[in-house]
Structure 1
Amino acid sequence: MKQMREKRQPADGRRKSILSQLKEAADPIKGNDLAEEMQVSRQIIVQDISLLKAEGQPIIATSQGYLLLKKAQSHTITRIVACNHTVSQTADELTRIVNCGVTVLNVTVEHPLYGEITRSLMIRNQSDVRKFVKNLEKTGASLLSSLTDGVHLHELEADTAENLELAVQALKQAGYLL
Structure 2
Amino acid sequence: MHGTIFSLLKRYVQTQYDHSTWVQLTELAGISSLDFNSKTVYPDEHMYALIGYAAQQTGIPAGELHEKFGEYLVPDLLYMYQKLMRPEWKTLEMLEHTEAVMHTHVRREHTENAPPVLDVKRVSENEVIIDYVSPRRMGGLAVGIVRGLATYFDEADRIDVQPTTSEDGERVQIRVRRN
Q: What TM-score does the superposition give when structure 2 sets the normalisation length?
A: 0.28
Which is greater in Rg? 1
